[in-house]
Structure formats: C-alpha cells, structure tokens
Structure 1
Amino acid sequence: MFKVVTPKTEQEFDAYFHFRWEYLRQPWNFPPGSEKDEYEQVAEHRMIVDGQNQVVACGRVHMNTAEEAQIRHIAVHADHQRKGLGQMMLDALENVAREQGAIRAVTNSREGSIPFFTGCGFVVEREAPNELGLLKRQQMVKKLAITDALVLHPKWCQQLQQTWSDTIPITEHMGIKLHQYTGRTLETRASLNKNINVHGTMFAGSIFSLATLTGWGMLYLQLKERQLDGDIVLGDGDIHYHKPITMKPRAVCNIESLSGKYALLEKRKKSRFTIHVEILDDDKPVAEFKGVYYVLPPTAKEPT
C-alpha cells in the first residue's frame, strides 16, 4: 500500500533528501548535499511511502510566479517503477500547484523522462539549461485544469465566475475561483500566493473580499434557482478574524445561513438578505463574516 505524505520532522526530511540524492545525484558522482538548492525553503515537498513507511518516490514543486509552478526532482525507487507511482507523485504536486493558484506547470525534463511527461499532458516548449552541467533537458509545459469539484448547474456557476471577472477584475488578480456548488453549499477559494503579505499570511482585506464575494455568489445562485432576477449590492459587512491564513484560503456559505424574502422580488420590490460565510485555512476555521445584501428589482425598460 502506497500513500503520498508531506515530510515534516527532521527524520522525515533526512529520508526524503537522502532518497533524492540517491536517485538524482549519486549516479553522477555528486556528493550528498548537491540534491538541495536555494528553493527548498519556499517549495512544497512530497514523498510516497510504502506499508513499512519507507520512501519509494519523491518530488517537489515551487512557484516561479503567481500563476506558474515549477515541478522538479521526481524520482521513483528502482524496485517500484512502472507501477504508477510517478503519475501518483505528479498528480499530488499538480494539486498543490492548483491550490497555490497556478494555472500552468513547467518542468525541465531530461531526455529519458520526456515520454513520461508527454504522457501526463506536458508538451515541449524549448530547450532548458543542462542539469549538473552535463545532462540535456527540455522545458515542458502543461495547463492546469480545476479538478475534483462538484458543481451543480455548471452554466450558472460559469456565468457567476464570468460576472466576477467582468465587473470585479480584482477577483482575477486575487485568484478567487468558485470551487464547489451543491445547491445548498457554495465554496470558493483564493490563491494565498497572490494575496500574501510581508508576514507570510493572507491580507485581511483579501479575506474580507473573498467572504463578500462568496455571500454575493450564493445569493446570485439562489436567485437563479428561483428564476428571479435583480441587482445584488452589499449593504453592510462585518467580519471577525480569529487566526491568520497561512495555507489554503477557503470560504464556505451554507443555505441555512441565508435569510430574506424572495416574495418581495416576485412583486418587483427591493428585498434585504443576510448571509453568513465561514472562512477557513484548509480545514481550520479562521474568520466569520456576516453580510447584509439588497436585491434591487430590474429597472423596467422604457417603451419604444
């Protein structure tokens, strides 16, 4: 049984780096330590372990820019090659890249690894600098798509995302995306990498914007569910911060937290709604938002 884990303890990192050296540096007579570079502290590290907790594969990803992730150092134990562990490791690293806001991944592949990355959706873009001064490499690129999200009424959700992009361009710069909509729950996510302050945490203003848009989005989709229309405006917003966000910014809004009178809109009258949004850092609650929104009935068109 194999599983992907994140090295955390000194002992786990020692095993991880030793494995990297053994498979990626020792064959070319480079000493221990040569497997490390200046990106280790800002990178995300993953390894695959077997049932005895022994390392059988490794890999690393770090962000080159707010939208581009660099995947490096994928290696698989000689006794476990051709078992899908390379694909398993790459999938894990791509998921990390998506969570950090990347829309594309790049890797500098040795010639022998090009077929593997090609089979995983990468394409050769250009020649890359030689590794260790002697191994020829090609830079390969892959566009990252959002996966593993349940989206009810995908057309409405796409319209909502497009509305945010068209009318509130900052959502694109913040990396705010609709992640999941079940009809009862709306979850959005933002890129920490695009909203990080000097302390390595998410800007408070970005958290507020994420919460506000999530509440707005839930009301937008609920109007669609009821075949109603109107202009949604924020009347008031109150947020309480408990902890900083250092990992994965998420906002969740449940339908039970939404209250207001849809009947007024059916009579083409303004209606007031209150919505609660929970902000999480991965699975840890870090902030609570209460928003008051008004829905204004569409303005009647002048007769022609």
Structure 2
Amino acid sequence: MSDLDALADRVRAAIPLTTHLDFRFTAFDGERLTLTAPLAPNHNDKGTFFAGSQAALLTLAGWACTTLMADSVAANAAVGEGEASVDVVAVESSLQFRAPLHGDIEIRAWADDGESGRFHQRLKRRGKASLAILARATDAQGVVVSEYQGLYLARNNTDNA
C-alpha cells in the first residue's frame, strides 16, 4: 500500500463523510498534491458536481498536502528517536466557484509561494507552524471550476504513547 493510499484510508476511518466522496490521492511530489473524485456520488439536483462536495474535497486536499509536508519534517527529525506524528487542522479558508462542473474533478493543492521552506523551518524549530495552501479544481479539459485558499496549522504530537 502506498503512503497516499494509507493516508486516504486514515482519512476515511477518521471522517466517515469522506467515504461517500469516493476520492483518491493520486500524486504527491513533496510540494504538490493531486486528488481526484468522480461526479457520480457527488452530483447535485442539476447533475453537476455539488458545491458542498467541492468544498469538502478542496479542504481535504489542503489538509492532506499540509499533513504530508509536515510528516516529512517529523520523519526527518525523528530518525533514531522513534516514530513522530503531526496533527494538522484547518484554521481559515475561502473558496470561489468559477464554473459548473459536469464531470469528474481533479484538485491540485500546493503551498503558497515561499511558504514551504518557512513552514519546514518553523515546524522543526518550534514544533508547530502554519501553512498557506492554494488549491485549484479543474474539469477534464483543465478548465478551472473552483479556487481555494486555506490556512492550516501543524503541530508535533509527542503524546501518542
């Protein structure tokens, strides 16, 4: 099982609503996360992708991107010290819907310019850090259907024992 599949399973176990979204994390390169989900379980009464599903998936993509970036910092810091974990929470967000979506969704989430280096340093040094995430949802032709900005807080969790 890949790290992305394990994270998706963790999300589905912790947040039952997400099982109905039928999402998949499809790629993460250390900086950018891609998430996909089909229209079928996420449609509204007009046959387009439900705005609530888009909001949930964009928020989830931001959380997952932050979590994966934070986990890499924690893993590097914990070498030889046992397993480390990081808690991530959404603090603030804004979302704009640009166009109706008549098919499956693809979401790409990434840290705002210059944020990832600062995030890594603060998380290593202080054990907590915030990260501004941008996410864009597109249709199969690459047309932007919604844009999201979120602020996430990551904190080392040393009380997992």
TM-score by length of 1: 0.45
User: 8 Å contact 1:243–1:286 — kept in the other structure?
Assistant: yes
- Distance change in 2, residues 1:261/1:192 (3 Å): same
For structure 1, list consecutive stretches of 5 or more residues without a partner in the other structure. Answer: 1-153
Corresponding letter in the other structure for 1:238: S
Q: CA contact under 8 A between 2:38 and 2:103: conserved in structure 1?
A: no
2:86 aligned partner, one-letter code: G
| More RCO (CA 8 Å, sep 6+) | 2
Q: How many residues align?
A: 149
CA deviation string 1:115-143 (max 9, x = no partner): xxxxxxxxxxxxxxxxxxxxxxxxxxxxx
**What amino acid is aligned across from residue 101 of structure 2 in structure 1?**
I
User: How much has 1:258 moved relative to structure 2?
Assistant: 7.1
Deviation at 1:301, TM superposition (A): 6.5
Aligned partner letter, 1:232: V
- Letter of the 1:265 counterpart: L
> Could you tell me which residue of structure 2 aligns to residue 276 of structure 1?
134
Determine whether 1:216 maps to 2:63: yes
1-side partners of 2:114 and 2:59: how far apart? 13
**Aligned residue for 1:261?**
119
Q: How does 1:1-304 map to 2 (within 5 A)?
A: 155-226=2-73, 227=75, 229-255=85-111, 257=113, 259=115, 260-282=118-140, 283-300=142-159
Aligned to 2:81: none
Deviation at 1:257, TM superposition (A): 4.7
Structure 2 gaps, min length 5? 78-84
More helix by share: 2
Tell me, in whole angstroms, the C-alpha distance in 1 between the residues paired with 2:53 and 2:160: 37
Distance 1:258 1:169 in 2: 34
Asked if the contact 2:88/2:154 (under 8 Å) is kept, the reply is: yes
Larger Rg: 1
Tell me the amino acid that sits aligned with residue 225 of structure 1.
S
Runs of 4 or more consecutive aligned structure 1 residues displaced over 4 Å after TM superposition? 255-258
